[in-house]
Structure 1
């Protein structure tokens, strides 16, 4: 290939810039021109495309967010929208595309592949909910952001002898809640993959109070309930006074951790290698510290599941 494009789509995640940098520099190293598509699939439809040079991605590896900007695009889900995007790719002579994002971004890449454009997906989402990879770009940074917040909130919970409920992101996946809850010593972790019994939670909180425990931390994944709704359940079941912290979009920001920078660099580089070998319709990932790739069909046919041994461990350690 002589020309490839790169875009970021969907929700931003720390490490996307590191992935863009890897794509651009790997391609230029192999004498391939790289074009940045600004604003995701919306930018593709409207022709917001610009050639990138080595200097275009200088000084971005440590920055959160994405220099290419990101957006969700309902129009691209339609055949007409996809055709508009293809016309813009043809206009710039782009032969292959690296798409950095989550499930929705992959769906768009698959649609383009079916219409003759070689596309490779790179998993960029804090939710860690993409099949075919143990970790997605941004998950580790978001996890550390949540842990830092838990540590700070625990100080206040201890001082005021209260039950704090912390709502975290993750869509329909519980990885952020589970990992942060285990690392942060939460007494209760609620994730979408496992149901909960409010009476059992209430009993656990009361037992803690009886043995002298004066505060508790409960982590609630947004796919289970809002923090405010769950707080009302807890207060009704226990008569305990609660406080709610919704961490929100702070989890998406910040300088990426070393792990996310390295992961993004490895996956972005591999994506270019696949395009050089004319292998489109694939998504890269990491398994047992080895870079792997699967077809989009394989990715969509699998379901990313949590590590239930970690969930059971969190219950054993929170007695």
Structure 2
């Protein structure tokens, strides 16, 4: 394989640029030409491809977001759109494609593979919601961003003796809330995977108040409900001065952590190696600190498990 391409799709995640850099430079080291596809699948359909060199990806490993930009594309979901994408790739004599993104991006890549065009997926999403890998690209940075915010909010909560409800991303997966909540010493963590009892949350707050606790932090994953709803319930039940903070898209941005830079580099290099070996239709992932290759079918059929041990630990430590 002498000519490959790389694109980023779906929501951006810190570390995507590190992965793009690794794909380009590993490809060059393997005597390949590497093309960048701009604006995701939409850009692919429009033929927005450009040959990249080592300098094209210089000074990007520390940058958040993606230099290739990203978008969502309804046309690509159709059979005609997928065929058009393949025609664009073949017109540029490209023989393989690396797709950096989440589940939806992988389903598109899988369709291309089924139609005979080799693809490899790199899991880039802050939600850590892809089966087949213990960590997705961008998750570590997002958690650290949330922890930094929690630390700052706690300073204000302490100064004003308030209860703060902090809403974090995670529509279907609560890993950001769970990891950040445990690391940030939150009094309660509400995630979509485990049904919460509001009476228990209130009781924990009241018990802490009786022990002389002057402030509390509640972390709510957006998939549970609005933090404003939780805040109103707490204020009504306790009378405590309660405030709400929604962190929103600040969690997606920022310079990637050392871990995400390392992970993106390892993922990108392995993706190129797999294409070179003719092993398409796979996602690279990390399991027990080893980079592995998992078929798209195994990814789609995989089941994500909730770390109940971590959840129970957070409850026992935040009394």
TM-score past 0.5 threshold: yes
Give yes or no for contact 1:198–1:237 (8 Å, CA) kept in 2: no
- The CA deviation at 1:83 is 1.6
Give the SS at the match of 2:291.
strand
Structure 2 Cα separation of the partners of residues 101 and 107 of structure 1: 10
TM-score (norm 2): 0.98
Give the SS at the match of 1:64.
coil
1:127-175 superposed Cα distances (whole Å, 9 cap, x missing partner): 1111111111111111111000000000000111111000001221111
- The CA deviation at 1:200 is 1.3
Which residue number in structure 1 is paired with residue 136 of structure 2?
136
1:258-301 superposed Cα distances (whole Å, 9 cap, x missing partner): 10000110011000000000111000000111000110000010
Matches within 5 A, 1:277-316: 277-316=277-316
Which residue number in structure 2 is paired with residue 245 of structure 1?
245
Which residue number in structure 2 is paired with residue 212 of structure 1?
212
Structure 2 Cα separation of the partners of residues 50 and 171 of structure 1: 35
Structure 2 Cα separation of the partners of residues 233 and 155 of structure 1: 23
Q: Is 1:10 aligned to 2:10, yes or no?
A: yes
Matches within 5 A, 1:18-29: 18-29=18-29
Matches within 5 A, 1:137-286: 137-286=137-286
Structure 1 Cα separation of the partners of residues 312 and 2 of structure 2: 51
- The CA deviation at 1:241 is 2.7
Give the SS at the match of 1:50.
strand
Moved over 4 A (4+): none
- The CA deviation at 1:306 is 2.6
- The CA deviation at 1:240 is 2.4
- The CA deviation at 1:78 is 0.9
Structure 2 Cα separation of the partners of residues 154 and 143 of structure 1: 16
Structure 2 Cα separation of the partners of residues 314 and 294 of structure 1: 32
Which residue number in structure 1 is paired with residue 74 of structure 2?
74
Structure 1 Cα separation of the partners of residues 68 and 115 of structure 2: 24
Give yes or no for contact 1:199–1:237 (8 Å, CA) kept in 2: no
Give yes or no for contact 1:163–1:243 (8 Å, CA) kept in 2: yes
> 25-34 or 79-88, which moves further after superposition?
79-88
Give the SS at the match of 1:85.
helix
Aligned length: 319
Where structure 2 has 5 or more consecutive residues not aligned to the other structure, the ranges are none
- The CA deviation at 1:237 is 2.8
Give yes or no for contact 2:171–2:224 (8 Å, CA) kept in 1: no
> 42-51 or 224-233, which moves further after superposition?
224-233
Structure 2 Cα separation of the partners of residues 303 and 95 of structure 1: 32
Structure 2 Cα separation of the partners of residues 237 and 114 of structure 1: 55
Give the SS at the match of 1:243.
strand
Give the SS at the match of 1:70.
coil
Structure 2 Cα separation of the partners of residues 291 and 305 of structure 1: 20
Give the SS at the match of 1:189.
strand
RMSD: 0.9
Structure 2 Cα separation of the partners of residues 78 and 237 of structure 1: 51
Give yes or no for contact 2:11–2:70 (8 Å, CA) kept in 1: yes
1:173-194 superposed Cα distances (whole Å, 9 cap, x missing partner): 1110000000000000001110
Give yes or no for contact 2:186–2:219 (8 Å, CA) kept in 1: yes
Give the SS at the match of 1:98.
strand
